[in-house]
Amino acid sequence: MNVPHISIYYFGAISLVLIGLYGVLVKKNLMKILISLSIMETGVNLLLISIGYVSGKSAPILSEGIGPTQAVDPIPQALVLTAIVIGVATTAMALSAAIIIYEKYGTLNVEEIRRLRG
Amino acid sequence: MNGQYASLLIALPLISAFFVPLIKGLGRKAIMGYLVLITAIQAAIAGWVASEVYSTGKPIIVMAGGWRPPVGINLYIGQFAALFVFIIAVVSFFMAFFSFKAVTIEPVDKYAMLFLLLMLGATGMIATGDIFNLFVFMEITSITAYALTAYNKTGEAAEASMKYIVLGGIGSSFFLIGVALIYGATGTLNMAHLAQLAGTIDPTVAQVGLALIIFGLAVEAELFPLNAWAPDAYQAAPHPVTVMFSAFVVKAGLYAIARLLYILQNANGWSGVLKLVIAMATLTVVVAEFSALRQRDVKRMVAYSSISQVGMIAFALALGTQAGVDAGVFHMVNHAIVKALLFLTVGYVGVALGGTTIENFQGLGKRMPLTAITLTIGSLAAVGIPLFNIFWSKVRILLAGVEAGYPWSVALILGASVVEAVYYLRLIHTMWFVEGGERVRENFAIGVIAIFLAALIIAIGVYPNDIWTIAQKAGQDVFNVANYIKNVPLMGVGA
């Protein structure tokens, strides 16, 4: 069979995103949902990084022996640096909300956290 | 004056937010006064920028660090951005006053900081000219919005915030994948450069990338499958924050959708994405109107009504014609004014009488006459009765929809609007014709703001042409991409 050329990096990154999405949609425990969300963010970051990869080139740090032509694309790295920080901030925010939910409701099951409805 | 000073629109709220912890020791009054002062300065700067942009007819391009785009990040403050940055600043200024009365839970310093950052995020989303920068500003807006939703520290607030975080997290991941695909296909993140290269993108990549970006932004913009968080967040958040959500956070998301749609209009497969947005927007209107009908909590009811209006704006913006975009922008302005008034008055009733369930509104006409009158004006305007502002923009949206060839969507939207009349008239009936408790003394500052907004609604309703001209200019700014590219001083780099 002639397998189309899908880079393992793309495949892995998209799989991580899908695993995360699956977890968010299916799991009932709030903590597991938040873990899935983090997995999804990791997958996105890996995808971003792998888009900037140029085969055989080195890290984009201007130093001896490595000029601008021998480096991989530096822009996705700046993007990922930002996205990682944003992801951590979101997770921290979500965890503090989860603590309050546990204090007030006494459960982390999303099916029982249903005071707002309508 | 030099146009680069327009970057103060971003810098001022950011710096002032950092100074809030320093004045924390001075007490609650000082922090709230500080908030009023900063938002007033922001409104003055935004007013200057708007008058500059509209008098010269040229957009202000702020280049970060002096690097010309597409190497550096640029802010593009055209007619649209100038108008909405001004609306954001003025609404924030009013809400700073309202916060004196409405936010009584400590810690108020954190509230002030988040308030300023929310204003910053929305301003940045509307002003930026770079898609990754758009993502960053979107995250600033949404993370502050998560925190402000949970500010009341009740179980409901945390629950609403959690729903918002999970949906927002998925949305921002999708948005980032979309950005990655488009960056991978074109090698640029600058919107003007992207518009130039749009024709060369592979149609599949363009369609998938754009659809993912729109899905990501639809969480912020409250389009149908992704808006389940919105009524909960509106209900649980502090009252001034609710006003800010519906008056400008949603608008920033909608604008970002419209901007990215039209930026990529030369890409193959573009019209398929437009149809997707039209379908989502029509469903948003129908679902939200019918959900609003059976609400017992007035704040939640107005929240659903706000979502349905947002669906209408998205419908107009995705028609793909000049008339549709103009009408959408006009409706955005009108909706910002009307919903600011509605949430302000409903929130004030909630503060004064403790809660916003429909029982508290019985006999409001006698208990709080000023609030009741302005709330009535706002409700009538939201229904779209002639001589109020929303009538004009609704008519224009529906006409543009028929012209663009979507009679079914127009019929559905029009049918759903009848439902809107039912629940608003029910509210008005409860306020004026049901007996209720005693007279309550009303706050002067909030009364003045409410009267000002109500007067604005009637003024635009009677003389719509001035605002309509402004909205048309702003609409051209979004729709006319050739002009957008021409205005951004692109450095000739890349392909």
Check if A24 contacts B (Cβ < 8 Å): yes
Of A45, A16, A40, A30, which Cα lies nearest the Cα of A95?
A30
What would the mean pLDDT of B455-479 be, rounded to a whole number?
A: 88
Which candidate from A79, A93, A101 shows the least CB-CB separation from B155? A101
Give me B207's structure tokens.
């369609």
Going by the DSSP 8-state scheme, the letter that residue A72 receives in this structure is -
Model confidence band, residue A4 (pLDDT cutoffs 50, 70, 90): low
Q: Do A17 and B161 touch (CB under 8 A)?
A: no
Contact B46, B88 (CB under 8 A): yes
Q: Do B180 and A48 touch (CB under 8 A)?
A: yes
Q: Do A97 and B166 touch (CB under 8 A)?
A: no
Q: Do A37 and B169 touch (CB under 8 A)?
A: yes
Question: Distance between the two ends of chain B, CA-based, in angstroms?
Answer: 35
Which residue reads 């609030």 in tokens?
B371
Residue B492 has pLDDT above 70, yes or no: no
Q: Determine the pLDDT at residue A1.
A: 42
Give dist(CA B94, CA B113) in Å, integer: 16
Q: Determine the pLDDT at residue B27.
A: 82
Give dist(CA B494, CA B103) in Å, integer: 51
Q: Determine the pLDDT at residue B495.
A: 42
Q: Do B158 and A86 touch (CB under 8 A)?
A: no
User: A53-57, B39-43, B50-54, B297-301: which has the minimum mean pLDDT?
Assistant: A53-57
Q: Do A118 and B169 touch (CB under 8 A)?
A: no
Give Cα separations from B306 to A28, B88, B402, B408, B451 (angstroms): 30, 17, 23, 22, 21
Closest residue, chain A, to B169 (C-alpha): A37
Q: Determine the pLDDT at residue B6.
A: 83
Give dist(CA B222, CA B230) in Å, integer: 7
Q: Which residues 218-237 of chain B have a CB within 8 Å of chain A?
A: 231-232, 235-236
Give Cα separations from B162 to A39, A111, B146, B492 (angstroms): 17, 13, 8, 45
Count CB neighbours of A63 within 10 A: 8
Check if A90 contacts B (Cβ < 8 Å): yes
Contact B160, A116 (CB under 8 A): yes
Q: Do B173 and A20 touch (CB under 8 A)?
A: yes
Give Cα separations from B51 to B61, B329, B465 (angstroms): 15, 18, 18
Give me B96's structure tokens.
């700073």
Q: Determine the pLDDT at residue A6.
A: 65
Of A21, A22, A23, A15, which Cα lies nearest the Cα of A47?
A15
3-class DSSP state for residue B75? strand
Model confidence band, residue B1 (pLDDT cutoffs 50, 70, 90): low
Contact A85, B129 (CB under 8 A): no
Amino acid at B298: V
Which residues of chain B make contact with A104, given a CB cutoff of 8 A?
Answer: 154-155, 158
Give dist(CA B184, CA A17) in Å, integer: 18
Residue A3 has pLDDT above 70, yes or no: no
Mean pLDDT across chain B, nearest whole number?
87
What would the mean pLDDT of B135-156 be, rounded to a whole number?
A: 91
Residue B222 has pLDDT above 80, yes or no: yes
Q: Determine the pLDDT at residue B45.
A: 92
Cα A74–A79–A83 angle (5° rounding)? Answer: 145
Model confidence band, residue A9 (pLDDT cutoffs 50, 70, 90): confident
Residue B65 has pLDDT above 60, yes or no: yes
Contact B60, B52 (CB under 8 A): yes
Which candidate from A33, A43, A116 shows the least CB-CB separation from B159? A116
Question: Distance between the two ends of chain A, CA-based, in angstroms?
Answer: 53
What would the mean pLDDT of B141-157 be, rounded to a whole number?
A: 90
- B17/B364: higher pLDDT: B17
Contact A118, B297 (CB under 8 A): yes
What would the mean pLDDT of A53-59 be, rounded to a whole number?
A: 79
Which residue reads 């922008």 in tokens?
B329
Which candidate from A20, A30, A48 shows the least CB-CB separation from B176? A48
Residue A97 has pLDDT above 50, yes or no: yes
How many residue pairs bridge chain A and chain B with CB atoms within 8 Å of each other? Answer: 102
Closest residue, chain B, to A89 (C-alpha): B143
Q: Do A105 and B155 touch (CB under 8 A)?
A: yes
The helix, strand and coil proportions of chain A, stated in percent and rounded to the nearest 5, come to 65, 5, 30
Q: What percent of chain A has pLDDT over 90?
A: 51
Q: Do A90 and B168 touch (CB under 8 A)?
A: yes
Residue A94 has pLDDT above 90, yes or no: yes
Which range has the top average pLDDT, A32-46, B59-73, B149-163, B347-361? A32-46
Which residues of chain B make contact with A115, given a CB cutoff of 8 A?
Answer: 155-156, 159
Q: What is the dihedral of CA B305, B306, B309, B310, to 10 degrees?
A: -140
Of B103, B58, B100, B106, which Cα lies nearest the Cα of B79?
B58
User: A2-16, A90-104, B153-167: which has the minimum mean pLDDT?
Assistant: A2-16
Contact B138, B125 (CB under 8 A): yes
Of B479, B489, B494, which Cα lies nearest the Cα of B192?
B489
Check if A13 contacts B (Cβ < 8 Å): no
Q: Do A100 and B165 touch (CB under 8 A)?
A: no
Residue B141 Cα to chain centre, angstroms: 11
Give dist(CA B102, CA B100) in Å, integer: 6
Mean pLDDT across chain A, nearest whole number?
86
Helix (H) or strand (E) holding B76: strand B74-77
Q: Determine the pLDDT at residue A27.
A: 92
Q: Do A51 and B231 touch (CB under 8 A)?
A: no
Please indicate, yes or no, whether the overall pTM of this predicted structure exceeds 0.90: yes
Which residues of chain B make contact with A51, given a CB cutoff of 8 A?
Answer: 180, 183-184
Give dist(CA B236, CA B147) in Å, integer: 12
Which candidate from B136, B143, B162 shows the least CB-CB separation from A82? B136
Give dist(CA B351, CA B346) in Å, integer: 9
